[in-house]
Amino acid sequence: MTTTQNERLHELLEPLATAAGVDLERSPWKQVGVAAGCLEVVVDADGGVDLDHVSDLAREIGEALDSPEGSAVLGDGEYRLEVGSPGVDRLLTLPRHWRRARTRLVKTQLEPGGELVGRVVEVDDEGVLFEIPPVKGRGKTTERRVAFGEIAKARVQVEFNRKSADEAEA
């Protein structure tokens, strides 16, 4: 699929996502075989998206892709449509991703080099305020502000034994 086709596909899907109250994060097309492909639509929203919401949106996207306008973008070949949320391992690249990761532990590769692992405390248009836990439980928790321009790559870390907010206050 060419860049122009991807742009047209995004133009077709973006209004559907917006009307459903979600952000269209990405919609990559993957060629599968000679005459078939797979469209993976990833959506997200503040507070996340639930399965019913995704199912309804998948039905609307399928109808749009099967319409004459959708066929003009994808062609008449077979395709598989997958609609879902980004999952915990996605890269944090936009301020809204960081806002949604508030209170989560994030591993961040810094642009000049180095790494930071901390909990997201606050996010604004300029950057992120992290709470940095003490090394090996020794010392005090510190805070560090990092501008978005200093961040090379960042992902939320999975925490299996994370305390809830109520447990942390007690």
In whole angstroms, give the CA distance from residue 72 to residue 162: 48
In whole angstroms, give the CA distance from residue 97 to residue 44: 9
Asked if 35 and 102 sit in the same domain, the reply is: no
Choose the final residue of a domain: 84, 115, 132: 84
The answer to whether residue 166 is domain-embedded is: no
Asked if 103 and 148 sit in the same domain, the reply is: yes
pTM for the structure as a whole: 0.78
State which residues of the chain have pLDDT below 50. 166, 170
Question: Over the stretch 125-170, which tens digit does the pLDDT of each residue have?
Answer: 999 999 998 887 788 999 999 999 999 999 999 888 776 554 555 4
Query: Considering its fold, how many domains does the chain have in total?
Result: 2
CATH code, domain carrying 7: 3.30.300.70
22 exposure class (CB count in 10 Å sphere: 0-12, 13-18, 19+): buried
Helices then strands (H, E): number in the chain? 5, 9
CATH code, domain carrying 114: 2.30.30.100
Choose the final residue of a domain: 19, 54, 84: 84
The answer to whether residue 66 is domain-embedded is: yes
Residue 35's domain comprises 3-84
In whole angstroms, give the CA distance from residue 26 to residue 30: 12
The answer to whether residue 153 is domain-embedded is: yes
The answer to whether residue 147 is domain-embedded is: yes
